[in-house]
Structures are given as structure tokens and as C-alpha cells.
Amino acid sequence: MAPLPPRPAPPPTLEPHRLKEAVERTLTTFLATKAESTTAGGRLPNLASPLQEFLAAGGKRVRPVFAMIGWHAAGGVGSVDTAHHLAASLELFHAFALIHDDLMDRSDTRRGRPTVHRALARTYGRRPPASPAEDPGAAADRFGEAAAILIGDLAFVWSDELLHAGRPTPGQLARVLPLLDEMRTEVTLGQYLDLAHTGCAGPDVETAFTVLRYKTAKYTVERPLHLGAALAGAEPALLDALSAYAIPLGEAFQLRDDLLGVFGDPDLTGKPTLDDLREGKATVLIALALQRATDAQADRLRSFLGCRTLTEDQADASRRIIESTGAHRAVDGMITQRYKEALAALESPLIDPVVTDTLRLLADQSARRHT
Amino acid sequence: MAPLPPRPAPPPTLEPHRLKEAVERTLTTFLATKAESTTAGGRLPNLASPLQEFLAAGGKRVRPVFAMIGWHAAGGVGSVDTAHHLAASLELFHAFALIHDDLMDRSDTRRGRPTVHRALARTYGRRPPASPAEDPGAAADRFGEAAAILIGDLAFVWSDELLHAGRPTPGQLARVLPLLDEMRTEVTLGQYLDLAHTGCAGPDVETAFTVLRYKTAKYTVERPLHLGAALAGAEPALLDALSAYAIPLGEAFQLRDDLLGVFGDPDLTGKPTLDDLREGKATVLIALALQRATDAQADRLRSFLGCRTLTEDQADASRRIIESTGAHRAVDGMITQRYKEALAALESPLIDPVVTDTLRLLADQSARRHT
């Protein structure tokens, strides 16, 4: 991508890191309260703790930041504390999605640390095996998986509670809940479609784009913007104007993610670059590579995809095939095109100019990021 | 338990099967709409279908019936359609809990049919393996497990949407949502505690009772009654009066379930009586048996509990130990005592007499059931 032109800075209150900090405080306070209330009886384990650790390990808080921008885009009407609660609840819902996702993918690490099911399996290791016949390692894995399902479920339950704790008005709830229902159905459908095409002989390009739209573009950018804007009382026309920015940007975000998943620096991303190939993820990058490959290349690439024992050498061979088909370059081109579309959409007179500098900055970061 | 005295029949509109039928129609209509809307784009799989099959396989709809009774107990104020939607949403939430529970327990059957993760694993079987290195059976199991996590998640997402589809008023939502948040946290904590003590060397009686209260008594009886009553605008005093009936009855319900899980007739319950022993479930029955057993009996019983390869002969030996400690009889006594407490609580002047005949009938069914 070409170097960036000089950009005007967003107003201080709309700087992404400032928005992130405010949401972070809401999230931290809520989980501290839950840690106290759930263990108050003395007989219950502290189930807030795995979630606190998970969130402390990092994360860009992309969805909360977009939600806050959506709220400001619609004039920032109502209590800012309610907006912070809505934004924070999206992050807790996302924690639920990631914890279940890591379990489904059997990923060992996330953000450079053990995934929740792996970390919980270790806590089991300190207990004696249930019976002499039992393999302690298998029992610990099984406990970790079951516990991670429940910790994920709890993050979902608490994301609702966190939203309610922000005391939205009845009018705000009536506007927000249908969008939240939509978002949650969309991301679950996207995940299912992803799963159904993962490890297969490679998706077609159209299917890969459907997965990407449901799983990321809508979920990561469009719906958070909509939810924040709806909280402030946005008209449908503003939601549409925000979609014109959000969908291409969300696609660019995921296409970049797919590139980083295969060609990224694990030290920066915190995720091994073998994972996407080992899982045979249904990405546009892979679909394009298979579409453009010679028969021999496609056969070779398919023999690597979804292979749980893929070696570094085989991963390198896969990368060389993807490069040589031009798929890497093509995806780079798609990102640039969508990035430009997103920026062009910011010219809409419906979007409050106070947020456009921040949205431009977020577009730069999403499309150009290395992590 | 002593034979039942003659009971006055509930008014026709409050007969449990009539309440169940009305809720069933709401549930069926909602899922049919979802089946249509999610596949409308043409590229998305019909994810309503596994949920439709799961619900069609049976279930007593205990929670929806209690929710409807709670609504009537508080005077049945507001739209009955809204009440049906709330009641139906509890069943969809329960489907979520059961689907994840079966996966965590690795149960093969539920209601006499394959569990959701097993059924979904079979749909995978029709596809070619992802790579020659992959064991097709293991890949199918892995797909079934991941898909069941998502189908469970979707049931949760849709349970919220189903509640909202009943168009509760802002006042109704404000009363219902905090109780719903409580209920969901309670059941998840109960499940976690259950998991943490499952397969262990057997729980103590107090822990087993804590699991039972969170996982069943509150979740199955108290909260559904509260939710229905709150929808109709109940005062806190009525909620307390309902709790005085609900908690002992809910405990009796689960204690009966624990007995059926070890001594029941699999042809009637649809669940093998080996499962609870194989899993080493943290039940009051087992805790009592271990507490009352001789050292030799306790050692022998512990060697069977949580053993995945438990044979029918070993299960019989376990049953004989449990019988000989008197734990079976003691649990029967606990059920009778709680059943009487629940009936006595119905004398409260706060509970509308229109519902007491139905609540008495439900107490009879819950404490005396064989399935």
C-alpha cells in the first residue's frame, strides 16, 4: 500500500486509546464485582478469574472502540456511562466467542499465553486422578475443555448483565436489543459456516467471502458502530452510512488477518503462523490460491491444509505455493481497494465530522496493522 | 411415599398440558421462522434444524410450565402472548444448557436419541476426510463437538431473541432482565461446581447440596416461577412466597432425578442408568452413600465412580453398596420431607388460590415421577 498522507489528529476525547481506556475501566470494575459476589457464599469457585486473566492478556478492544465511535457519530445522546457499558459488554461477548473458538480450533495459545481450555486443564493437574484406570493427562484435557465451555458461557451471560448494569433507558434497550440479537445470530452462523468448510478440500472464493462477512465484517465493525449509534438514537439513514464504511473496512480487516495468519510474525501476532494452515481455515487467501493454482500446486496445497501434523517446512512450501499463484498480492490489492472504499464512505454528510478523523485513523490501523 | 389423597383438579386453562401446548406453539412457530430467515440468503446452512429435532424428541417443558404458573400466580397481568414467549425462551435456553452439558459429559444419548454432538458427527461422515493423514472417525467426532458448541450457543442467542419477539413492555423488561441474568449466572456456577466435583473421589454432602440448589432447585423451579410472576408485576413478597414452595420442590425434583439416574428404568427415562455412575456425578445420593459406607465399601464404590469403562456388573455392585448403606432410603425420605414442605408453603395467603391446585399437581408429578 502507498505511504499514508498526513492526517489531522482526532479530537483528544475521541482518540482510540482514550476510548479504550474508559471502556477498560468499566470492564475491570464489573469483573471485580462479579469476582466478589460469586464467591461471597464461600462454596463457589471464583469464575471471574479466568475471564480477568483472559482480558488482561491483551486484545485491541476493536469492537468497544467502534461502539463508542458509533455513539459519538450519532451525537453522543444520553449517558456516556451507559455507552461505556454497552461497549464493554461487546468485549465480554467477544471473550465468549474467542474462548469457544479456541476450543473448537484446539488452539494452544492466544495472545502469547495458553488458551483458556489449556490453562484450566493445568489447574486440574493438581488433583488426583478420579480412578486408577484413568489417564491423568486425558482427564485434565477433558476437564479443561468442559470448564472452558462453561467459562465461555459465563462470559456470554455476563455480557448481557454488563449491558443492563449501564442502566439503559427503556427506549435505548428497545433500539439496541434487536441489533444485538442480529449480531449474535450473524456471528454464530459465520462461525458455523467457517467450521463446516474448515479442514475440507478448500473453500470456493464466494463461500470464503460469506464466512468473512458474517464472522468479521458485520460482527467486528458494522454492528458495533450500529449499536453505539442506536444507543444515541440514530436514524436508519445514519446506520446505512456507517455500513458503507464498515463493511469494506471489516472485510479489509479480516483479509489482513488472513495474511497475518499465514505470513505474519508470530512474535508480533502472539499466534503461531502454522495454525491457520493446520486448521485448513476457509479464508479468501486460500480459496484464491486454490483457484489460481495449477492442478499439481492445488493437489500439493490441499495435502497440507488441515493436516494437524504440518511441519514448518511444509508450511513454508504452502507459503511458496500461495505466493507463486499471486494470491498474496491479490489479497493485498483487495485490502487496498476496500480501504479506499471505506475512506470514501466517510464523505457522507450524515456522519458527524467530529468522528471522521478517528474513523480514518482506525481504517489506517485495521488495514495496515502487523498484529 | 404414601398414596396420594384425592386432589381437586386445576381449572382447565391452568392444566399443565394446556400450558405446555400453548408454549410449544410459540416455540415451534419461532424456530420455523428462524429456519426460513437464516437460510434465505441461500448460502447458509439451516441451523434451526438441529434445535427443532432436539426439541421434538421430547422434554417435559417443566420450566415453561412453572413460568406460566408464576404469571397466573401474580394475576396474569399483561399479554398472555408475551408470557408464552418468556416461557418458551426458557426452554430454548434450557436446550442450550443441555446440549453443552451432553457434550461436557460425552453422553451418547438423550431422550432415547443420539445427543446433538453425536448426531452432528454423523452428518460429517458423509464428507471425504480433509487430508489422507486424518482419521475420518476422529475428524467427525471433532466436527460434531465443535458444531454442538455452536448450536448450543445459537440456542442461547435465540432464547434472548424469542423473549424480545414477545414484545414485552419496557416495564416488563426492566423487571424480568435482572432475574434472567441471576438465573443464568446461577445455573452456570452450579454446572461448574458440578464439573469440578465430578469424577473426583466423591463429593461431601454439603457440596452436593450446593450443586443441587444452584443447578436445579433455583434454575428449574424458583426462577421460572419468579420470572413469570415478575412479568405480571409481582411484589417481592409474592416472589418470596413462591420460593418457599419452589426451593424444597426443586430439591425434591433433583433428588428424584439422582435416584432415577442410578435406579431408574432406562426404557422410561431414555437415559442409560450407567451414565451417572460412569461420570461420577456429584449427587447427594452418592455423597450420602460414601458418608455412611464402611471403609471397605467406600473404597469399592470410589473405584467404580467416574470409571468410563464401568460394566453392568460393576454398576450392579455399586447399586448394592448404595442400597446397603441406606442412602437410597435416606434420599427417599428427603424427597418426602421436601415435598411436604412445598405443599405446606402453598397455604400462603399471598399465592392466588387459582394456581394452588396446579402447583400441588406439579409437586406430585415432580416428586413421584418415574421419568
- Give me the interface pTM, i.e. the ipTM: 0.91
Write out the three cell numbers for B219.
434454575
Residue B5 lies in a domain: no
Domains of chain A: total? 1
Low-confidence ranges of chain B (pLDDT < 70): 1-3, 40-43, 125-134, 200-201, 270-272, 370-371
Residue B71 lies in a domain: yes
Residues of chain A contacting residue B173, judged by C-beta atoms under 8 Å apart: 170, 173
Distance from the A203 Cα atom to the nearest Cα atom in chain B, whole angstroms: 12
Query: What burial letters (b/e) apply to A117-156, b meaning 16+ CB within 10 Å?
Result: bbbbbeebeeeebbbeebeeeebbbbbbbbbbbbbbbbbb
Q: What is the pLDDT of residue A98?
A: 96
Considering CB atoms only, which of A185, A192, A304 is closest to B147?
A192
Considering CB atoms only, which of B38, B130, B180 is closest to A200?
B130
Q: Do B150 and A196 touch (CB under 8 A)?
A: no
- Measured between alpha carbons, how far is A326 from A329 in angstroms, rounded to an integer? 5
Residues of chain B contacting residue A133, judged by C-beta atoms under 8 Å apart: 307-309
Residues of chain B contacting residue A47, judged by C-beta atoms under 8 Å apart: 188-189, 192
CA angle A167, A170, A172 (to 5 degrees): 80
CA distances from B245 to B17, B87, B253 (A): 21, 19, 12
CATH of residue A124: 1.10.600.10
Residue A310, pLDDT > 80, answer yes
Residue A334 lies in a domain: yes
Residue B217 lies in a domain: yes
Strand residue runs (E) in chain A: 109-110, 113-114
Closest Cα in chain B to A45: B193
Query: Residue A198's closest CA among A120, A268, A278, A140?
Result: A278
Residues of chain B contacting residue A144, judged by C-beta atoms under 8 Å apart: none
Distance from the B260 Cα atom to the nearest Cα atom in chain A, whole angstroms: 23
- The residue of B153, B198, B301, B308 whose CB has the most chain A CBs within 10 angstroms, and thus the best one to mutate to test that interface, is B153
Distance from the A96 Cα atom to the nearest Cα atom in chain B, whole angstroms: 10
CA distances from B329 to A21, A133, A333, B322, B335 (A): 59, 31, 74, 9, 10
Q: Do A177 and B192 touch (CB under 8 A)?
A: no
Residues of chain B contacting residue A214, judged by C-beta atoms under 8 Å apart: 44
Write out the three cell numbers for A124.
486440574
Considering CB atoms only, which of A164, A181, A199 is closest to B161?
A181
Q: What is the pLDDT of residue B2?
A: 66
Residues B307, A132: contact at Cβ < 8 Å? no
- Measured between alpha carbons, how far is B115 from B104 in angstroms, rounded to an integer? 11
pLDDT per residue as tens digits for the range A135-166: 778 888 989 999 999 999 999 999 999 999 99
Q: Do A157 and B309 touch (CB under 8 A)?
A: no
Q: What is the pLDDT of residue A132?
A: 57
Distance from the B3 Cα atom to the nearest Cα atom in chain A, whole angstroms: 38
Interface A-B: count of C-beta contacts within 8 A: 177
Residue A266 lies in a domain: yes
pLDDT per residue as tens digits for the range A163-222: 999 999 999 999 999 999 999 999 999 999 988 887 766 778 998 999 999 999 999 999
Q: What is the pLDDT of residue A172?
A: 96
Write out the three cell numbers for A71.
455513539
Tell me the residue range of the domain where A113 lies.
Answer: 12-368
Model pTM?
0.92
Residues A270, A110: contact at Cβ < 8 Å? yes
Q: Using DSSP, state whether B110 is helix, strand or coil.
A: strand
